[in-house]
Chain A
């Protein structure tokens, strides 16, 4: 008789000591004469409770304890952790914790629950139901289902996924590709990583659905090299899917082919921009391409290419399984479905919250996040990565909705929210935004390549304060030039963090130092 425990293999859980906790648990169990049956799962998304340990009790319920540090394990096991006994660190069933109970998990439904690379576990939790249904439909019908769902690109650009696919479907070509943009470089975002580590088969299934729908036989996952844990999980998942006939020359016995390969990036933020990602996949310097032509018409190796973010692709299995209308019923306005939101930075209860669009920043920061980690007031949040706007407390009641955020000069982006307390210096953060743009610029267009460096110098002068009024005017001019003159979003969106900081936190730029 063995005791089953679940502990995460997610990079964030490992970063907080999950491996060491597991070793301590195994040692303590052996000493107590108990055999452990260990399942390494993804993270439940409550990063502040990692390392989280779940123990199956006598009723077959998974009882959570956390955070469980290795040095606490001997005392915890002595107190009956392996019998699911009472203890101050005992949290009960994860599903009943408010942080989880209040979520609407569609894309992340399995993450933290199943063994990420076990096909049988995946099948037991609705795995491949979406693909099986897609295989009974025509390509046009699958594309229509995706269009009906209202799904918009979750990488940040929010372009309707169905329209992108329709363009690829309509192309006549001897070869088409499906490319997954897994170059999740935005600070404050980690939902792609968590999905790839916690439910990689969901991404495999989503990409296969895309391939079947548009007639593509080869897929590539372009993964940033900072994510070695995700690479391992994806490689294991692809091998497992292939061995069981869910990938390869005869997908689910349909006679259709879909092959999948993971390609690693090499540390270039710009590769999150889809045309530079394609250049990189082709083995070139990742310089942004001129558009047109669109990647949907001339993409990878000049062939029609579906290129979507991890979360967009991982949302397809549930959309195909339950229908576009089911997904569309979540959300508000033109923002349909759910968004895996990431609470990051100076936040007490950081982690992943999947909610339908419409939830407000205030609910996310306080009801889920529990306020700042430092206990000081939250002064600003940056939403949508390094190119997202800084948002002041007065706008925390804005619902998460692409249009509502655009209306206030901000963006939802990939759904990352970075909280800053009242010690943050927004002039410094504006300078950093320019510095980051200079560091990551591909160099192809002048406004981004030169403008970002001039921007750093300008903000340095503003902070110094010798000729502040004129420099502030020039900064606004520079931002406008970069916005309208840059080839892609890197130079084109750096004005969001810079000018939002100027607008909402003018004192930080005017202060004597």
Chain B
């Protein structure tokens, strides 16, 4: 086991232990693991299953059900582009196409420099000021292709 894997396991064990006694702890644990490691590595599944007395299949089944959970590492920032109806009504298709082109990836992909992972979102709750984009936890409204360039530039500088 590499040092990194060992550290990840320690982190997962700490998270599992901190939820001891909580009813229905699996989602909170998975969310915390992903927030801490960026994704849910295969080794974490084993530790979580053991900690909660579940089968690995149970844990894997939950991870694979929810769109938010990732089983692979992502870029330093996650860019979500909303493609729901209210954003389509204000031409989010142009923003989507521009995002894919600017980052050189399709949905689910990570830009070659490792800065951004692009994801589709189905409503970010900003439907009166679309097209909407979220970078990590920061929400942006009226994101035209030009504004998307400006937003991405800000985050590139930051990282």
Please list the residues of chain A having a beta carbon within 8 angstroms of any beta carbon in chain B: 11-12, 14-16, 47-48, 50, 184-190, 193, 225-229, 263-269, 280-286, 301, 342-347, 350-351, 373, 382, 386, 416, 418-421, 424, 429, 432, 436, 439-440, 442
Q: Most chain-A CB neighbours within 10 Å: which of B30, B84, B86?
A: B86
Specify which of A48, A188, A225, A285 lies most central, judged by the most chain B CB atoms within 10 Å of its CB.
A188
Chain B positions within 8 Å of A, measured between CB atoms, are: 23-28, 30-31, 61-62, 65-69, 80, 84-90, 121-130, 132, 134, 137-142
What 9 pairs between A and B have smallest CB-CB spacing? A350-B128, A283-B26, A267-B68, A345-B89, A187-B84, A344-B127, A266-B66, A15-B141, A267-B67
A265 and B28 CA atoms in complex are apart in Å by 9
Once A11-B126, A264-B31, A420-B89 are accepted as A-B contacts, the answer to whether A301 and B66 lie under 8 Å apart by CB is no
Chain B: minimal CB distance from A180 (Å): 15
Q: Which residues of B contact A416 (CB under 8 A)?
A: 86, 127
Interfacial chain A residues near B23, Cβ < 8 Å: 282, 301
**Contact with B86, one of A48, A301, A418 (Cβ below 8 angstroms):** A418
Q: Give the residue of B24, B68, B85, B126 whose beta carbon is less than 8 angstroms from that of A281.
A: B24
CB closest chain-B residue, reference A374 = B90
User: Given A186-B123, A283-B26, are A266 and B140 also a contact pair (CB < 8 Å)?
Assistant: no
Interface pair B69/A189, CB less than 8 Å apart? no
Distance (Å) between the CB of A389 and the closest chain B CB? Answer: 12
CA distance A419 to B85 in the complex (A): 9
Asked whether B88 lies within 8 Å of A190 as measured between CB atoms, the reply is no
Question: Could you show 14 A-B contacts with beta carbons less than 8 Å apart?
Answer: A11-B126, A16-B141, A184-B125, A187-B86, A187-B123, A263-B27, A267-B66, A281-B24, A283-B24, A345-B89, A373-B90, A418-B86, A432-B88, A442-B65
Q: How far is the CA of A286 from the CA of B69 in the complex (A)?
A: 14
What CA separation (Å) do A282 and B124 show in the bound complex? 25
Contact B140 A15 (CB under 8 A): yes
A15-B139, A15-B141 known; A226+B125 contact, CB < 8 A: yes
A16-B142, A263-B27, A282-B24 are contacts. A226–B67 as well, Cβ < 8 Å? Answer: no
In the bound complex, CA of A482 to CA of B9 (Å): 45
Contacts of B30 in A (CB 8 A): 266
Q: Given A15-B132, A190-B127, A373-B90, A285 and B65 touching (CB < 8 A)?
A: yes
By the criterion CB–CB under 8 Å, are A228 and B137 in contact?
yes
Chain A residue, CB-CB nearest to B87: A187
- Known interface pairs A228-B137, A386-B84, A440-B122. Does A283 touch B27 (Cβ–Cβ under 8 Å)? yes
Chain A residues within an 8 Å CB radius of B137: 228
- Residues in chain A near residue B125, CB distance under 8 A: 11-12, 184, 189-190, 193, 226-227
Least CB distance from B39 to A in Å reads 13
Cα–Cα distance between A347 and B65 once the two chains are bound (Å): 35
Across the interface, name the chain A residue whose C-beta is closest to B30: A266
CB-based contact A268/B129 at 8 Å:
no
